[in-house]
Amino acid sequence: DMPEMPPCKFSPEEYKVRAKSSGFLCLYSAKLVTYYKKPVFIHKGHMQWLWDVDGRRYLDLFAGVATVSVGHCHPKVTAAAEQQLKDLWHTTNIYVYPALHEYCEKLASYLPDPLKVIYLTNSGSEANDLAMLMARLHTGNFDTITFRGSYHGGSPQTMGLTSNAAYKYPIANGLGCTNTMCPDVFRGPWGGSHCRDSPIQTIRQCSCLYPNCLSLFYPTGQCTANEQYIGQLKETLATSVPSRIAAFFGEPIQGVGGAVQYPKNYLKEAYKLVRERGGVCIADEVQTGFGRTGTHFWGFQGHDVIPDMVTMAKGIGNGFPMGAVVTTPEIAASFAKGVHFNTFGGNPMACAVASSVLDVIKEDGTQKISLDVGTYLMTELAKLRDKYEVVGDVRGKGLQIGVEMVKDKASRDPLPPEAMSEIFEDVKDMGILIGKGGLYGQRIFFAPASKVFKL
């Protein structure tokens, strides 16, 4: 039996055909990622709900790939956009206008010193591309390190940062980018039951603990898995890059990679190694930022580190195209060697929308909602893991949650694509939209808007 959907007071207008069928066919003649055998044709959005052209309602647990941070068509954000449309659509930052400076001051207040210099862009790919350029100019070095399984964008430069074959094309890209082993404590060679900062740990036995001991303290004060993964990074530094490097990119929690979490002290030790070799540390907060992880506003804060640069997009504008790079005055000064100009980055519309998003996050307490609802959802999902052989792992923080689907728990081999497709079709037919990730498309991804879910 299909589960009964929760009630919804909002009634969307009936969809009226506004496009010729030939145009629709042309749109789908290209290779687009649509997830389903028959693409969901969305007509209307309201907070956590989406409606298709036939009037079918869906609970959106993916939020446009972790982008709709405070809900579809949130009334306060919509009102801010409407007001700005009446005042000023566009100008560029060669002029001074209130929306730009007011927003930058507001955004900077959410970041620790010395991260106070802001460059506004149009997307996460553009932000990461710019961050890589700034890192190379500042350090005088070229090589950049990222994790295997990472996703940092699809532009020719950021394609090199991205370590996932599905997003790569057979062209020259990302010169100077090197990938190191991702410290994935479930799928990787090392991991245990106390490695990650999550309310749900892996089912793997932890080799750090004394045999038959219930103590949660490591006998050596160190996480064995973390030591092994740091050893892999040291090997990458010793073999695959020059002695001096430009940067290290890392998502605090891998997004497209499938909500992959690292051992608790990994980033702190990795940052130290990178800085010893002249590199800067860059936190990609495109998916983890703006309170999504619940315990902190930024994902890097959960690792007790302060990066040299932070990139962001997606939730920054609740779906409005926008991104940003935030860095230190010192790195910004190095960037003054040339002229940087962005026609649309930080235009009045983007700044008005993004400023309203920050207001809504604060006023509605969405960070706390992410923590409470996310912890509850992970706890319930863990019950499915304990019950079903194909559910290998549940992990995440707040409302960035991954579920690893496997053939069986012993092998941890990925569930085949055809089986994953069946699951996605069935869940969609139940009226629920979810995401997928991982190198093999084996990870179910939950990243809903936080504003609208309450226990």
Q: Is the sign of the CA dihedral 12, 17, 19, 24 positive or negative?
A: positive
The answer to whether the pTM exceeds 0.85 is yes
> Is the domain 78-363 a CATH 3.40.50.300 member?
no
pLDDT at 15: 85
**398/198 Cα distance (integer angstroms):** 9
Architecture of the domain whose range is 21-73+366-446? Alpha-Beta Complex (3.90)
Position 218 scores a pLDDT of: 45
Task: Give the model's pLDDT for residue 215.
Answer: 46
pLDDT at residue 11 in the model? 87
- Could you state, in order of their start, the residue ranges of all structural domains in the chain? 21-73+366-446, 78-363
The continuous run of DSSP H or E covering 404 comes out as: strand 400-405
pLDDT for 236 equals 98
The SS3 call for residue 71 is coil
> How do the pLDDT tens digits run along the chain, 455 residues long?
677 888 888 888 888 876 554 445 445 545 556 688 888 999 999 999 999 999 999 999 999 999 999 999 999 999 999 999 999 999 887 888 889 999 999 999 999 999 999 999 999 999 999 999 999 999 999 999 999 999 999 999 999 999 999 999 998 888 999 999 999 999 999 999 999 999 999 999 887 754 444 445 444 557 899 999 999 999 999 999 999 999 999 999 999 999 999 999 999 999 999 999 999 999 999 999 999 999 999 999 999 999 999 999 999 999 999 999 999 999 999 998 888 889 999 999 999 999 999 999 999 999 999 999 999 999 999 999 999 999 999 999 999 999 999 999 999 999 999 999 999 999 999 999 999 999 999 999 999 997 655 55
Q: How far apart are CA 268 and CA 291, in angstroms?
A: 21
pLDDT at 12: 87
Question: What's residue 221's pLDDT?
Answer: 57
- Per the structure block, which two tokens stand in for 33? 């990622």
**What is the spatial distance between Cα 312 and Cα 125, in angstroms, rounded to a whole number?**
9
pLDDT computed for residue 18 by the predictor: 63
The neighbour count for residue 421, using CB atoms within 10 Å, is 15
